[in-house]
């Protein structure tokens, strides 16, 4: 059962990370992308005040499963854990944290920009339809 839960977390969390990074590309997923990025930001920086900066409940829950499976020495970062697990390498945590933060901030900025741009375009179309 623990292996199944581990598989679920690897799959779901990885898909969420990729959706956070690239969900802004498709117009139909932009609003949801902005929501998931905002929730990630709130988790990292608001829950992070109480649980440690960069806190993610998915990471917390998954790491508890991994500990029950006998894993030790888990890193602080889920992205480092994922990169190490999938590649078999041992990445520098500072490098992974920097790439993670920069990628997140870039995706968040792009998502905000595109959502605002789409909103303004829709408002202009509605305005033209009224006149």
What's the Cα-to-Cα distance from 85 to each of 39, 78, 116, rounded to whole Å? 25, 10, 37
Q: Write down the pLDDT at residue 107.
A: 98
Domain span at residue 88 reads: 2-130
Query: 80-86: long-range contacts at Cβ-Cβ below 8 A with a sequence spacing of 24 or more?
Result: 82/10, 82/13, 82/14, 82/17, 85/10
Alpha-helical segments (H) within 23-92: 30-42, 48-51, 57-68, 78-87
Take residue 37 and report the two structure tokens written for it. Answer: 């990025």
Give the three-class secondary structure for 26: coil
Tell me, what's the pLDDT at 57? 96
pLDDT at 126: 83
Query: Residue 125: what pLDDT?
Result: 86
Distance CA 31, CA 84 (A): 31
Q: What is the Cα 68 distance to its own chain's centre?
A: 24
Please list the rounded mean pLDDT of every run of 10 residues in the chain (131 residues): 96 97 98 98 95 95 97 95 95 97 98 97 86 71
Domain count, the chain: 1
């Amino acid at each position: 059962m623990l292996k199944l839960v581990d598989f679920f977390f690897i799959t779901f969390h990885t898909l969420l990370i990729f959706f956070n990074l690239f969900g802004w590309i498709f117009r139909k997923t932009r609003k949801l992308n902005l929501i998931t990025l905002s929730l990630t930001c709130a988790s990292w920086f608001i829950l992070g005040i109480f649980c440690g900066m960069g806190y993610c409940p998915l990471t917390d829950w998954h790491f508890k499963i991994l500990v029950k499976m006998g894993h030790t020495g888990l890193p602080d970062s889920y992205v480092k854990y994922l990169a190490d697990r999938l590649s078999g390498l041992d990445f520098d945590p500072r490098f992974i944290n920097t790439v993670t933060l920069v990628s997140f901030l870039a995706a968040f900025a792009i998502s905000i920009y595109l959502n605002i741009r789409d909103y303004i375009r829709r408002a202009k179309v509605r305005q033209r339809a009224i006149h």
